[in-house]
Amino acid sequence: MSKTKVTIQDIADSLGLSRNTISKALNNHYSIPDETRNKVIQKAIEMNYKQFAFFEQEVTAAKKSGNIALLTANMPNNSHFGTSLLSGLEQKISSEGFNLSIHMVRENEINSLALPVNFDKSKVDGIVCIELFNKNYSEFISSLEIPTLFIDASAALTFTEMKSDILLMENAHSIFSMTRRLIDEGITTFGFIGDFNHCMSFNERWDGFNKALSTSRIDLDESFCILEEDRYVADYQWLKQRLSGMKELPSAFICANDFIAIHVIRILKDLNVRVPEEVMVCGFDNATESQIVEPHLTTVHIHRSEMGYLAAEMLLSRMENPDRPPQVTHVKTIPVYRQSTGHV
């Protein structure tokens, strides 16, 4: 396979489809039929296109000894922490002789508790779920009695209900530490932006934020917070309306991830609010964009590739020992202080 950069047009040409159709399929648009979407994704994997590059198989047919299915409702893009994580996962399971296949889960399949059309249960030895946060669907996947690992999971799941393993980055302590540092530096008014019911990670970040306030005897003022559903918070124009409608802004926003935080910085600039002089902003993920946005974003670094290797090890161990009690594993994260909170 040539190492030249593969474009959407290349995929379109190879399948005889329009560029617009390819783009919509790769972004899981509702208007694209399942058969077409799956064909496009498989071609993207085959051609080593961007975030699908890590699915390129380097293991010969003779060495392959099993199949692991990746289920996702929202394929991570190049800036998402999951892209590097999945790269590490693929490298590890390939070295152990397994194939990794991708299966996009559509909203109608989630609502009807149905498997993706290209998912054959009889040919799957293990399952990895990422960006799959529906409680009922998570329980449905766990009920298949196939060894399963969730990389992050629904915030509505409780550990007593678990039938599968869960891998998380450490969330609460890093947000706690970051918030407490700003408190120690004199900040007294804070807002949190993000849907803490979106997933376990967001929920733990919310808990860490609240713990930092309570241990410093600072009351939570929800008028400074934006806690609506993630689909709203992720919408730039909607978020801009919410921020512009605030009667007063806090001295610092703690955001559930970098995607939200970067939007907040740009919106505040549009509103002629100076960052960090008037309002400080923190994120989580240490995405590439966090060092491009001005001012550079204070955030939390995730050991992405290492989490991928650990995810593979956890799933392979579960496949070897299916009766082992389910476990939740957290991987250490590290706060990174930059200009968006006045740190150089």
Angstrom distances, CA of residue 223 to CA of 48, 191, 278: 46, 8, 17
pLDDT confidence tier of residue 91, bands split at 50, 70 and 90: confident
Give the model confidence (pLDDT) of 161-195 as tens digits.
Answer: 778 999 999 999 999 999 999 999 999 999 999 99
Report pLDDT digits (tens) over 39-79.
787 788 778 776 665 554 443 333 446 899 999 998 765 55
pLDDT recorded at residue 22: 84
Determine which helix (DSSP H) or strand (DSSP E) holds 335, and give its type and residue range. strand 333-336
For the whole model, what pTM was predicted?
A: 0.82
Give me the percent of the chain exceeding a pLDDT of 90: 67
Mean residue pLDDT of the chain comes to 89
Q: Compute the average pLDDT of residues 306-316.
A: 93
Q: What does 129-153 look like in DSSP terms, one character per residue?
A: EES---HHHHHHHHTT-S-EEEES-
**Residue 259 and residue 318: Cα distance in Å, rounded?**
33
Listed range (88-92, 114-118, 141-145, 223-227) with the worst mean pLDDT:
88-92
Q: How many angstroms separate the CA atoms of 307 and 92, rounded?
A: 11
- Identify the pLDDT of residue 170: 97
300: enclosing H helix or E strand: strand 299-302
Helices (H), the chain: 8-15, 19-26, 34-46, 81-95, 107-111, 135-142, 172-184, 200-215, 230-233, 236-244, 258-270, 304-320
Architecture of domain 172-302+335-341: 3-Layer(aba) Sandwich (3.40)
Name, of 51-55, 222-226, 321-325, the range with top average pLDDT: 222-226
Q: How many whole angstroms separate alpha carbon 210 and alpha carbon 192?
A: 9
Give me the pLDDT at residue 76, please: 66
User: What class does CATH assign to 8-169+304-330?
Assistant: alpha beta
Q: Would you list the domain boundaries of the chain?
A: 8-169+304-330, 172-302+335-341
The residue-averaged pLDDT of 23-38 equals 73
CA 321 to chain centre: 28
What's the rounded Cα separation, in Å, for the pair 48 and 3? 9
Q: SS3 of 177, please?
A: helix
Pairwise CA distance, residues 246 & 18, whole Å: 44
Domains 8-169+304-330 and 172-302+335-341 share a fold: yes
Higher pLDDT, 88 or 77: 88
In a 3-state reduction of DSSP, which class is residue 208? helix
Region at 338 (left for phi over 0; alpha for psi -120 to 50; beta for the rest): beta
Cis bond before residue 295 (omega within 30° of 0): yes
Tokens of 24: 């919509």
Alpha-carbon span 327 to 148, nearest angstrom: 11
Q: Tell me the backbone φ, ψ of residue 314, rounded to 5 degrees.
A: -65, -45
Say whether 176 sits in a helix, a strand or coil.
helix
pLDDT above 60 (res 3): no
